[in-house]
């Protein structure tokens, strides 16, 4: 009996009434995802949003500073907050966000990114770009400073010892051939 009283005219009275986003008419009886009472009101609402967006775009958002790098840029839309430098600013903001940081900490993502970097390094393009990065002055100075540091010297000595041990093992494990006597 209570269920019959709660449902009147196919509308659940326990839920709040839903209104058309354009005219405010009650649309609770329509399907659950309805936002408008008619297609004409849906189009009118969309047109008003487009007009508002264009109006604000032509107004105070013509020159805006990127929230990541601070560079002033011409935005294409009033909602744009990152400059369009190849998407690097928006990607950086995502990596630094809690959701992005959690994604990049996942082991499968780390493994996939390492594998992609390794495969790229094996290609001709990857080798050329590595040579180009190595030739940059700041990288040359960084490598030189690291090589002169105490840890850098320790690693260098360790690598020299390892190579010497590898050469010695290769000599020991070489096949021995007897010389034929004539």
Residue 25 lies in a domain: yes
Token pair belonging to 112: 């996939």
Q: How many domains does the chain have?
A: 1
Structure confidence at residue 130 (pLDDT): 84
Report pLDDT for 175: 73
Q: Is residue 51 part of a domain?
A: yes
Residue 48, in any domain of the structure: yes
Give helix 98-105 / helix 88-96 axis angle, nearest 10°.
80
The helix-helix angle for 137-148 and 124-135 (nearest 10°) equals 70
pLDDT tens digits, residue range 78-114?
A: 778 888 777 789 999 999 999 999 999 999 999 999 9
User: By three-state DSSP, how is residue 133 classified?
Assistant: helix
Q: How much is the average pLDDT of 14-39?
A: 86
Per the structure, the complete domain to which residue 44 belongs is given by 17-58
- Residue 103 gets which letter from DSSP? H
Is 166 part of a structural domain of the chain?
A: no
User: Both tokens of residue 46?
Assistant: 């969309």
Residue 101 falls within a domain, yes or no?
Answer: no
Tell whether 50 is covered by a domain.
yes
Q: What are the pLDDT digits (tens) for 33-91?
A: 888 899 999 888 888 887 666 655 555 566 788 888 888 888 777 778 888 777 789 99
């Amino acid at each position: 009996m209570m269920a019959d009283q709660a449902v009147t005219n196919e509308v659940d009275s326990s839920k709040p009434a839903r209104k058309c986003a354009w005219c405010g008419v009650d649309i609770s009886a329509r399907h659950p995802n309805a936002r408008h009472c008619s297609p004409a009101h849906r189009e009118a609402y969309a047109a008003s949003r487009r007009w508002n967006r264009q109006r604000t775009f032509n107004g105070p958002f013509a020159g805006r500073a990127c929230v990541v790098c601070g560079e002033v840029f011409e935005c294409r839309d009033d909602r744009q907050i990152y400059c369009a430098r190849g998407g690097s600013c928006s990607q950086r903001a995502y990596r630094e966000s809690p959701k992005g940081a959690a994604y990049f900490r996942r082991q499968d993502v780390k493994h996939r990114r390492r594998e992609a970097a390794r495969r790229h390094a094996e290609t001709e393009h990857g080798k050329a770009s590595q040579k180009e990065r190595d030739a940059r002055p700041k990288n040359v100075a960084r490598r030189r400073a690291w090589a002169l540091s105490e840890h850098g010297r320790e690693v260098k000595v360790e690598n020299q010892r390892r190579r010497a041990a590898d050469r010695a093992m290769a000599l020991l494990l070489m096949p021995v051939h007897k010389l034929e006597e004539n």
